[in-house]
Amino acid sequence: MPTATVALLPEVARFLDTDHGLIIGADRPPASDGGLIDVFDPANGRLLTRVASATASDVDAAVAAARAALPVWNALSPADRADLLWRLGDEIAKRAEEFGQLETLDNGKPTSESGVLDVPLCASLFKYYAGWATKIEGESMTPSGGGAFHVFTRREPVGVVGAIIPWNFPLLMAGYKLGPALAAGNTMVLKPAEQTPLSALRLVELMLEIGFPPGVVNVVTGDGPGAGAPLAAHLDVDKITFTGENATGQKILEASKGNMKRLSLELGGKSPSLIFADADIDKAIAGTFGAIYFNQGQCCIAGARVFVERTAYDRFVDGLGAKVAGIRLGNGLDPETTMGPVVSAEQQARVDGLIASGVAAGARAVVGGGTVSAPELADGYFVQPTLFTDVAADMEIMRREIFGPVGMVGVFDTEDEAIELANATPFGLASGLWTSDVTRTHRVVPQIHAGVVWVNTYGMFDVAIPYGGFKASGYGKELGREALDPYLQTKTVWIDLGG
């Protein structure tokens, strides 16, 4: 097992030394064919542990367990379900350091990030949706055409939900799916990314420990073809919720047709940030730096396409470049680290290749532009933080979602030009706008084709505020009251009172 810059908690060390089967009902079976997946520490490439690699028959068993648990979960009162969700939030918060270390070992992000965002937000998610469990209500209605009828609606759970989550925020994405789905009365089969299964396994173990009925949440670890595809196509799954890349989302859309299952798809982005000369430029530099490079740039909302009004361009590029040059790469368990590795050797090669394509196409690397050469980082999956200027619209780095620590800065002269540049993408997940002109804010915001617009800030989230994209970035909302709707269905009841 790897050595770390900071000593591992005993409970984390024990977890890594444990054989991890699937979680199906109350059991921890191995994969039906005995297959295993190696889980690596991206900071040094060393083996952390091995987990089961689920097959289609394992998915069948997990779905059957979720189906059997559905009446058990719904037999609990909403108040009892709320109590369990609240207790889960409390227990996650108590184990913040444990979950933070697991997330950093699995994903690579610094503990300063996992401790500030991932773990606390996940804990608060469960507490927030605990409050909703007792507030799901139908309506009593009067028919517009008259008549002696009593008409009312019931809001009922969809049923068995399959949740397929990505590797960039493993614990948090599990919370995004589990919180509203369980509050609404559904049961679940959770498929974490094969690169980062550890925090999801620990989360569901914790749920069983504090009294969630077995089968309410089941975990099938494995890759896309072995576990994800059978789950997406399963005829006894009523809904799939997915966060990940567009190509996989399209496959899930196709697979869902067998039983017309419901879908929520939170897909990729290529988010713009518009910086006008009247903005607080120092604040815009700091906010845009976070928008691009937080979580090693592995964020679907990453505001990596930056467009700056010409009169502020040079100052902005110099300031942002200085911040990028100050990034300290290292093991995420090291408190001095400001950026960890990307998640895998495959992702490292992908991002390095895109950086090389930008250089070859003529983009100017203000910072970075090469590969990491420091000997002490050689075994990890590190990518050189890079900032490009002189990027043309047809360059691959401008068109594709990079999902790494790479930003691009362009220039504009007019407001209309800025809006056109912002919208020149098939994606529509998020965007940033920096200006001190309130009238400009209200002119520009309606014209940006994105599900979120952050004004004079970036990347703000709250459990009570809905989040989700437009266009090729998918459909359905995460967070807030709106996130409950995809997990509920409305039943209308007519009672004849006139005989």
Residue 221 Cα to chain centre, angstroms = 17
In 3D, which of 183, 164, 278, 140 has the Cα closest to residue 232?
164
Distance CA 37, CA 17 (A): 15
* Cβ-based burial of 458 (10 A; exposed 0-12, middle 13-18, buried ≥19): buried
CA angle 244, 249, 252 (to 5 degrees): 125
**CB-CB contact of 341 with 296 (8 Å):** yes
Nearest-Å Rg of the Cα atoms of the chain is 24
Distance CA 69, CA 63 (A): 10
State whether residue 28 is helix, strand or coil.
coil
Show the tokens assigned to 297: 């740039």
Show the tokens assigned to 39: 């889980």
212 Cβ neighbours under 8 A, 6+ residues apart: 84, 88
Measured CA distances, 333 to 105, 305, 309 (Å): 8, 30, 39
How many Cα neighbours within 13 Å face the side chain of 358?
31
Measured CA distances, 421 to 109, 275, 311 (Å): 31, 12, 17
For 148-160, b/e burial (b = at least 16 CB within 10 A) is eeeeeeebbbbbb
**CB-CB contact of 450 with 432 (8 Å):** no
Known catalytic residues?
266, 300
User: What pairing do the DSSP bridges indicate for beta strands 160-164 and 430-434?
Assistant: unpaired
Q: What is the DSSP letter of 30?
A: P
264 has which bridge partners? 241
CA angle 100, 106, 111 (to 5 degrees): 30
